[in-house]
Amino acid sequence: MSKSDRPSGARIEKVLRELADAADVIAMDFFRRQSELAVEQKGDGSFVTAADKAVEAELRRILKSEFPQHSVHGEEEGLITGVDRTYSWIIDPIDGTHGFMRGMPIWATLIAFTDKERVIGSMVSAPALATRWWAGEKTGAYKSFSGGNSQPISVSTIGSIEESQLLYTGYFACKKQWTGFSNLLNSAWRERGVGDFWGHCLVAEGVADGMLDPIVSVWDVAALDLLVKEAGGVMTNSQGSPTYTDGHVISSNGIVHQHILSQLLAD
Tens digits of residue pLDDT in 183-228: 999 999 999 999 899 999 999 999 999 999 999 999 999 999 999 9
Q: What is the mean pLDDT of residues 36-43?
A: 89
Q: Given 152, 176, 209, which residue is the final one in a domain?
A: 152
What does the pLDDT read at residue 3?
A: 43
Strands 118-126 and 131-136: antiparallel
Residue 226 half-sphere exposure toward CB, CA atoms < 13 A: 29
Q: Cα separation of 234 and 141, whole Å?
A: 13
Same domain, 181 and 87: no
Same domain, 184 and 55: no
Same domain, 143 and 243: no
What does the pLDDT read at residue 2?
A: 43
- Number of compact structural domains in the chain: 2
Same domain, 7 and 108: yes
258 pLDDT band, cuts 50/70/90, is: very high
Q: CA distances (Å), 179 to each of 116, 165, 186, 190, 212, in order?
A: 34, 20, 13, 19, 13
Same domain, 172 and 194: yes
What pTM value is reported for the model? 0.95
Same domain, 170 and 64: no
Residue ranges in the chain assigned as alpha helix (H): 9-31, 50-66, 97-100, 171-177, 181-187, 196-204, 218-230, 257-264
Q: Over pLDDT 90: what percentage of the chain?
A: 87
